[in-house]
């Protein structure tokens, strides 16, 4: 479901073409990708009955939303964005992402 939805909105190709290397440039496509990916995760969470997967999808999508908000914040310098993006990489996020990956691959 997620893979097919990513295909519909060409998300994999957009991610491949995007290079989030400069946090002080035009980040509009990166922000769009993160928002679209979060939306796909939210749609998938609404359609599953697996509570662990719902929690994982919600956490992973929420992480993308937070990243998009940080990148869109014009009041933050590139260094501040980088620091705050790094702070989002918590053990809880990695656990949720692992649960999402494991569940979707099985």
- Asked if residue 104 has pLDDT above 90, the reply is no
Q: What is the pLDDT of residues 79-97, one digit of tens each?
A: 999 999 999 999 999 998 8
- Asked if residue 34 has pLDDT above 70, the reply is yes
Cβ atoms within 10 A of the Cβ of 64, count?
21
Distance CA 7, CA 53 (A): 21
- Asked if residue 68 has pLDDT above 70, the reply is yes
Question: Over the Cα atoms of the chain, what is R_g?
Answer: 14
Distance CA 100, CA 86 (A): 20
Mean pLDDT score across all residues of the chain:
87
What is the reported pLDDT for 19?
A: 66
């Amino acid at each position: 479901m997620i893979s097919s939805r990513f295909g519909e909105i060409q998300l994999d190709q957009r991610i491949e073409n995007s290079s989030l290397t400069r946090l002080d440039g035009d980040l509009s496509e990166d922000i769009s990708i993160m928002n679209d990916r979060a939306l796909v995760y939210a749609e998938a969470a609404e359609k599953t009955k697996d509570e662990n997967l719902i929690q994982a999808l919600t956490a992973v999508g929420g992480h993308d939303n937070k990243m998009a908000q940080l990148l869109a914040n014009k009041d933050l310098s590139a260094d501040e964005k980088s620091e705050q993006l790094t702070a989002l990489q918590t053990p809880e996020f990695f656990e949720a992402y692992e649960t999402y990956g494991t569940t979707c691959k099985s």
